[in-house]
Structure 1
């Protein structure tokens, strides 16, 4: 469908006419178009970050209202408009990302409890026929300006500087484990070992051939041209199920345009920004916010993705017996 509305341009003038005059007249559709969520979800967001962001007027200066500061940050994260020359906007974005990391991430991105794991397992089994699967892991590169220190470490195989965002996604497209900030030259498998290696999830997650094969992760059989029918079917099932992770990254980058453009070379603020966007993604998805801008999943997900690297039998292979057991019923 074609959308006739376009996001309103935010003029950061001292008169604040945009926020004080124009925004109050927004229709529901205009609000969603500009802030990527309903006004109800936006108010919920404000209440969540209020303890970390709220400021009070002083004798010398009136503070920017909380709702306005959150709106500035959300609008900037969504549009990635240039703001480096505007100190107030920069401060709003940094304060919001820090608040999101403190208040939103622990609540919205967390390891599932047993009941949730059981629900995830049932979902993957009913939709893709994969027993005991509770999620899919994938990674994407977030562009950055080359940092002054150790810039070679952040130079990825595609020829530009980045940090890595790696996440585990459930069947609904929600992130439940996120790692951000490793240099772009680091391989997926090393990020995994540094981040969640050794965690026994009690089930297993899906990965591509770039990952090792511990007992809690399974991946496709390496195609040497001699796969059995059961192995080929198993690979197809994994490929279809892993779309949930690819789509989640597409929705994430489609909503939050700041993840598609080179960001500040100071790594710590970029990491906070990435985590804030992941938390906002989960908030929007859990509140049923629509993809009003009809983002292209294929283009957005692949815009900064690292090419898959087949490692064959390299690395941790403890999960071979698990994979064989999962594949065996498909061969009968």
Structure 2
């Protein structure tokens, strides 16, 4: 991490993380607490070894990580992952159409398993089909691969469709309260904004997916599927970049909860 990025994070998170000295205890310097949290998140090292490295207890390391994550959720997530407004939806649709020839498409959705250490309770719920324990991160990205909706924390055993139905995105979109009322006539059909999903997701008027390959697809169906799959690569690449920036190490379930942008 560059010094510039480190200073940026400190300035952003200071209001939520900075503590005051008391007559009974001198606080660990704010920048040191941020550095401890970043070291843990970047390396996945044990709390004890990080404590030795920074000269603090493992309990202090744990608190620094929890405080950092809570501050980031409060101060950074609303700024970096926001529900698009009408103007932004129009911009995303125009970009996707220019790049992939899909009118009215504003993004793509997918899920990714985040490895965790098995919790003591209900550990079977977190055992996924791949054979390890995880939580699911559901994300929606625009045509440039920027996340504009996230929903995390569901047990790894759940199907992607079930995770979607538990999210606020499903609740709002199904009621017609999420995407702006902006339709366009496409082949005789008035189509509104929609996102792309794979075959794991349920077909909706705001979520389209490829035709299932039953061996009887027409040439038009095959062409449609290829176009959808080419455009959906953007969300797969986004998760690839996300995972490429962090070490894939199991995280502890303690204190973990769902995170969802309101969009």
Tell me the equivalent position of 1:234: 224
CA contact (8 A) 1:153 1:185 kept: yes
Question: CA–CA distance in 2 between the matches of 1:84 and 1:139?
Answer: 33
Give how far 1:222 is off. 0.8
CA contact (8 A) 1:72 1:92 kept: yes
Tell me the equivalent position of 1:91: 63
Give how far 1:84 is off. 4.8
Q: Secondary structure at the match of 1:201?
A: coil
Tell me the equivalent position of 1:186: 158
Quickly say closer, same or farther: Cα 1:50–1:240, change in 2 above 3 A. same
Q: Secondary structure at the match of 1:212?
A: coil
Tell me the equivalent position of 1:281: none
- Determine which of 113, 123, 133 is the counterpart of 1:141: 113
- Determine which of 69, 74, 91 is the counterpart of 2:38: 74
Question: CA–CA distance in 2 between the matches of 1:117 and 1:44?
Answer: 29
Give how far 1:180 is off. 0.8
1:209 is the counterpart of 2:173:
no
CA contact (8 A) 1:208 1:219 kept: yes
Question: CA–CA distance in 2 between the matches of 1:170 and 1:71?
Answer: 32
Q: Secondary structure at the match of 1:172?
A: coil
- Determine which of 261, 268, 281 is the counterpart of 2:249: 261
Q: TM-score, normalised by structure 1?
A: 0.66
Q: For this pair of structures, how many residues does the alignment match?
A: 235
Give how far 1:71 is off. 2.2
1:197 is the counterpart of 2:175:
no
- Structure 1 segments of 4+ aligned residues over 3 angstroms from their partners: none
CA contact (8 A) 1:53 1:66 kept: yes
Give how far 1:190 is off. 0.8
**Structure 2 regions of 5+ residues with no counterpart?**
50-57, 181-192
Tell me the equivalent position of 2:74: 102
Q: Secondary structure at the match of 1:222?
A: coil
* Root-mean-square deviation over aligned CA pairs: 2.0
**Structure 1 regions of 5+ residues with no counterpart?**
1-34, 279-332
Question: CA–CA distance in 2 between the matches of 1:41 and 1:149?
Answer: 38
Question: CA–CA distance in 2 between the matches of 1:62 and 1:145?
Answer: 34
Question: CA–CA distance in 2 between the matches of 1:236 and 1:250?
Answer: 21
Q: TM-score, normalised by structure 2?
A: 0.83
What CA deviation, in whole Å up to 9, does each residue of 1:105-161 have, x standing for no partner?
Answer: 122212111111111111111111111111110101111122122222111111211
Tell me the equivalent position of 1:300: none
Structure number with higher strand proportion: 2
Question: CA–CA distance in 1 between the matches of 2:145 and 2:9?
Answer: 20
Tell me the equivalent position of 1:48: 12
